[in-house]
Chains A and B, each alone.
Chain A
Amino acid sequence: MLSDSEATELLSFLRRDMRADVKGQATEYILGLTGNREGCRYLRTKPDFLKALVTLTADPSIAIVKDCYHALVNLSADETLHKPLVKEAAILPTMFHNLLDPEYMFADRVSTILTNLSRHEATCREVFQALQEQEISLAKIVEIFCTEGFNKKASLHYLGPLLSNLTQLPEARQFILDKERCVIQRLLPYTQYEASVTRRGGVVGTLRNCCFDYAHHEWLLSDAVDILPFLLLPLAGPEELSEEENEGLPVDLQYLPEDKTREEDPDIRKMLIETLLLLTATKKGRQIMKEKNVYPIMREFHKWEKDLQVISACEKLVQVLIGDEPEPGMENLMEVNIPEGVEQKFKDLDAKEQEEIEKEKQELLKEEAEKHPNTVPEVLER
């Protein structure tokens, strides 16, 4: 890496009042550093550089700002950089300020950085606290997210995953699940937002996190929120159901057109099913889901799904939907005390299931490779 004197010199170039070409080259160099882990780790020890990057996001030259943001995105992806970025470089106030600006060209980059920073609980808490301190509130974030065309130059899709990350905190969930306001209701339609898988995934993740609080399940399933159709629509297909089955479904799922497509991302499909599974934790929840005729939708879905992980999740859900009610005392599946030995057994079974799924996957890949002996399997870069 750089010697101390080199570092000092480089730092001096990273100032607003420097010549454009000098600034530009310096930021380019830093960007290069952030491209790999050693560079990132090095910069962790140099908070002044981080501070400089944040300051330079206000530079008049767009090319420089672009590089700064690119570097910050890379840095924020590394968890070890979170503390220095937030504490020493004080990145959050600047980011929030820019996020709220409807004219800000790099709002998408800002969202990505905030999403990265909120991934793990510790910094997530810092992000949430900073939101409160800046008097911005989650309400504003949701409002911006749900306002079509709030920023003409940025899509703000990454606010979805940001919300999802923030809802790992109970304080954030509390806000989203506030019965006195209309917050979660505004997010629901986005489970079907075709234009962006990021936005969709973020919203579904948010909903899934919120469903961990089973005290809210009855409210979520009631008309006040009516979460069920929004979870089922992405899983429902164009298959024609009988008139009898149709009439028993929630209104939004009745008489779906023949060109209806299902959610194309298997991870999102899995999250949707997990959310549905969470909602079956309480007796009331199970009752409502059985009444609302969820089963035929999952039946058709099961016939269509190819991804083994998702099929497995689907089968678990169907089991609960068509299975008997658990014995009294065990009705709340989340509160049941599983004796240690049994719990270990379940974990072992799960692990075995995973192994089998992996094995099947490998066999499928092998078959594919044998069919096309000349193609080299893709290695995905992390």
Chain B
Amino acid sequence: MAQADDSDDGMDEFMEKFKTQKYKNAFTESNWEEEFDKVPMFMKSAPEQIDPVKHPELACIQSIIHDDDRPPEEQAKSLKDEGNEYFKEKNYKKAIVAYTAGLKKNCSDSDLNAILYTNRAATHFHLGNMRSALNDATAAKKLKPDHIKAIIRGAQCCMELRNYAVALQWCDEGLRILPTEKKLQELRATADKQKRAADRDARKAKAKEKKERNERAVLLAAIKERGIRLLKPEQPQRRGSDSEDDGADVSAAAMAELHLDGLSTQEATGAQVYLDEQGVLHWPVLFLYPEYRQTDFISAFCENSSFIDHLVVMFGEELPPWDTDRKYYPQNLQLFFEDHEKGHVYEVDLEKSLLSILQHPGCSVKAGTPSFIVLVKESPFCKQFLSGKKVQRLK
């Protein structure tokens, strides 16, 4: 038509114009990349939130996808695809949103729903939400019992949750459907191995506990046999069972049990009385020096040793730095133990063994650690300390 000729001419003119005139609203060197990025077709990545004012075209496209009258199956499929895209980008939170929206469509395609559940399970798995992942895998399996991916995922979740017996069940279920599925076989072998290792660990712990209980019983029997009294601590106060305190209550009860036999040391020493292979007891013993508020701790005082043996070693060569008067020589020392209940103080015969002292009717061991007061004979502090107390001297 006539136009053809015209446009030819028109084109030439148009082209001519370019050589002299700049196109209005043209992209410039500096802004062409930015402008391109705004055009949906050329965008490298979509903005997180689509502002309809800044990106009206994008907003349009989005509304086409989401607010539509298409049948639920199609909508669900689009949402599935959307979720998959987000998943590939590792945008797991958005993937879950998409899959969830897809499931909410409640479409009748159970295969699609099974896939949505399975994919959401995978997403949860990567986020570390094992329970949610397992729930989704279970739901997928319910919809489509032969969906191998769901079964594999379910087994993996159980493994992460350390529920090896159930993991095995999932694997066996899957292998029934696809006996040669390698991943399931591997999972099964691992689950089996872990389960058996866990069983062994439980048995080992039980054996250890039993051994410790036996040793404890033997120890307590030895102490009792010697006629040594262990002071039982007071029962801890029972608190009201607030849910907050429940945890504390449980551990308090456990500690109480430990203390009830009177053997746990409150001290941060970690030492405890023990029975050696020859059947001899060794006690942790505290020496108290009230004059200078000092203490000495013997971690293993053999019951057959005498006090003078230890004192000679402790004070024989060098006097302690806190002994400013230089008077704590072994021959000057007097030892006492206190019966706190009755308020009696008993002098200790230094030549006697620890065992015979502990067997003294007035002596009882507090917190598993016998303690003795060390004073210097005839010293002013000694006189002052003992005044007002009922003292049982050595005969």
The interface of chain A, by Cβ under 8 A from chain B, is 139, 143, 146, 180-182, 185-186, 223-224, 229, 251-252, 254-257
How many whole Å from A345's CB to the nearest CB in chain B? 44
Q: Which of B188, B197, B206 is A182 in contact with, Cβ under 8 Å?
A: B188
Stretch with Cβ within 8 A of A (4 or more), from B8-16, B171-179, B217-225 = B171-179
Q: Are B204 and A255 in contact (CB under 8 A)?
A: yes
The 8 closest A-B pairs by CB, nearest first: A255-B203, A255-B204, A181-B179, A255-B207, A251-B200, A254-B200, A180-B180, A251-B196
Inter-chain CA distance A355–B343, complex, in Å, is: 84
A139 touches B179 (CB 8 A): yes
Check B189 against A223 for contact (C-beta < 8 Å). Answer: yes
Query: 9 other contacts beyond A181-B179, A182-B172, A223-B193, with CB at 8 A cut-off?
Result: A185-B188, A185-B189, A186-B172, A229-B196, A251-B197, A255-B200, A255-B203, A256-B203, A257-B203
Bound complex: CA A252 to CA B203 (Å): 10
- In chain A, what residue has the closest Cβ to B208? A255
Which residues on B sit within 8 Å (CB–CB) of A182?
A: 172, 175, 179, 185, 188
Quick check: is B146 within 8 A (CB to CB) of the other chain? no
Instruction: Give the residues in chain A near B180, CB-CB below 8 Å.
Output: 180-181
Distance to closest chain B CB from A260 (angstroms): 10
Chain B interface residue bracket vs A: 10 to 19
7 A-B contact pairs sorted by A residue (CB < 8 Å): A139-B179, A143-B176, A182-B188, A251-B197, A251-B200, A255-B207, A257-B206
Contact present for B204 and A254 (CB under 8 Å): yes
B304 to chain A, nearest CB (A): 30
Cβ < 8 Å to A, chain B residues 169-216: 172, 175-176, 179-180, 185, 188-189, 192-193, 196-197, 199-200, 203-204, 206-207
Contacts of B193 in A (CB 8 A): 223
CA distance A257 to B207 in the complex (A): 8
Q: How far is the CA of A185 from the CA of B176 in the complex (A)?
A: 13
Task: Tell me the smallest distance from the CB of B178 to a CB of chain A, in Å.
Answer: 10
Find chain B residues with CB under 8 A from A224 CB.
189
CA gap between A229 and B196 in the complex, in Å? 11
Most buried by B among A182, A186, A251: A182
CA distance A180 to B176 in the complex (A): 13
Q: Which secondary structure dominates chain B's binding surface?
A: helix
CB closest residue in chain B, given A179: B185
- B residues in contact with A229, CB < 8 Å: 196
A146 to B188, CA, bound (A): 15
Task: Please indicate the chain B residues that have their CB under 8 angstroms from the CB of A257 in the complex.
Answer: 203, 206-207
Residues of A within 8 A of B189 (CB): 185, 223-224
Q: Determine how close the nearest CB of chain B comes to the CB of A61; give it in whole angstroms.
A: 36
Q: Which one of A139, A185, A256 lies within 8 Å of B192 (CB-CB)?
A: A185
Closest Cβ–Cβ distance, residue B224 to chain A (whole Å): 26
**Which chain B residue lies CB-closest to A249?**
B200
Provide the residues of chain A in CB contact with B172, threshold 8 Å: 146, 182, 186
Contact flags B295-322 to A (C-beta < 8 A → 1, else 0): 0000000000000000000000000000
Contact A252 B185 (CB under 8 A): no
A250 CB, nearest partner CB in chain B, Å? 9
Alpha-carbon distance A223/B186, docked complex (angstroms):
11
* Neighbouring A residues of B192 by C-beta, 8 Å: 185
What residues on A are CB-neighbors of B175 within 8 Å?
181-182
Within 8 A of A (CB), among B139-193: 172, 175-176, 179-180, 185, 188-189, 192-193
Question: Which residues of the partner chain B approach A223 to less than 8 Å between Cβ atoms?
Answer: 189, 193
Q: Give CA–CA (A262, B217) in the complex, Å.
A: 30
Closest B residue by C-beta to A181: B179
A139 to B178, alpha carbons, bound, how many Å? 12
Contact B179 A252 (CB under 8 A): no
The answer to whether A252 and B188 touch across the interface, beta carbons within 8 angstroms, is no
Contact of A252 among B176, B196, B207 (CB under 8 A): B196
Q: State A181–B188 Cα separation when bound (angstroms).
A: 11
| Residue of B172, B175, B180, B200 most packed against chain A (CB within 10 A) | B200
In the bound complex, residues from chain A placing their C-beta under 8 Å from that of B196 are 229, 251-252
Q: Which residues of B contact A252 (CB under 8 A)?
A: 196, 199-200
| A271 CB to nearest B CB, Å | 23
Q: A222 to chain B: closest CB distance in Å?
A: 10
Q: Which residues of B contact A186 (CB under 8 A)?
A: 172
Name which residue of chain A comes closest to B204, CB basis: A255
CB distance from B7 to the nearest CB of A (A): 71
CA of A105 to CA of B223 in the docked complex: distance in angstroms?
65
Give min CB distance, A253 to chain B, whole Å: 9
Smallest CB gap from B205: residue in A: A255
Shortest C-beta distance, A223 to chain B (Å), equals 7
Per the bound structure, the CA–CA distance linking A254 and B176 in Å amounts to: 32
